[in-house]
């Protein structure tokens, strides 16, 4: 049976492969650098470089959280925004997937 890490690695690689404008890779790089964020904070950072709506950013974060499984979510109270944390167990997988994608892009 395939391990959880190998399934997450495949999902990450596929997620990055489908990155047509660089925003997915940029999101993952930001997550690696900040490690803790809210959708609003990520949107402010991304909107400096990409024309992207808050809804689109929230959708990306939701997908990364639920499908890729590399984030933890915490909410202090009903009215507080959800704070996402990158799971430390997968930092090396994310870095590796970004690095392999970068080297594949240079090969073509």
Domain encompassing residue 95: 4-102
Q: What is the pLDDT of residues 39-96, one digit of tens each?
A: 999 999 999 999 999 999 999 999 999 999 999 999 999 999 999 999 999 999 999 9
Query: Looking at the predicted structure, is the pLDDT value of residue 1 above 90?
Result: no
Residue 23 lies in a domain: yes
Indicate left, alpha or beta for 2 from its phi (over 0: left) and psi (-120 to 50: alpha). Answer: beta
Tell me, yes or no, if the pTM score tops 0.75. Answer: yes
We report the CATH number of the domain holding residue 22 as: 1.10.10.10
Compute the distance between CA of residue 69 and CA of residue 54 in angstroms, rounded to an integer. Answer: 21
CA distance linking residue 26 with residue 46, whole number of Å: 8
pLDDT digits (tens, 9 = 90+) for 55-65: 999 999 999 99
Q: Please report which confidence band the pLDDT of residue 105 belongs to, taking 50, 70 and 90 as the band edges.
A: low
CB-based contact 81:39 (threshold 8 Å): yes
Residue 22 counted as domain residue: yes
Does residue 107 form part of some domain? no
28 within some domain: yes
Number of domains in the chain: 1
The verdict on residue 14 lying in a domain is yes
The answer to the question of residue 108 being in a domain is: no
């Amino acid at each position: 049976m395939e391990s959880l890490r190998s399934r997450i690695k495949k999902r990450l690689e596929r997620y990055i492969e489908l990155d047509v404008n660089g925003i997915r890779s940029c999101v993952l790089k930001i997550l690696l650098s900040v490690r803790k964020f809210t959708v609003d904070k990520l949107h402010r950072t991304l909107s400096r470089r990409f024309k992207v709506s808050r809804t689109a950013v929230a959708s990306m974060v939701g997908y990364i959280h639920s499908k890729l499984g590399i984030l933890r979510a915490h909410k202090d109270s009903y009215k507080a925004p959800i704070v996402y944390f990158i799971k430390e167990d997968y930092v090396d997988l994310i870095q590796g997937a970004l690095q392999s994608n970068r080297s594949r892009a240079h090969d073509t």
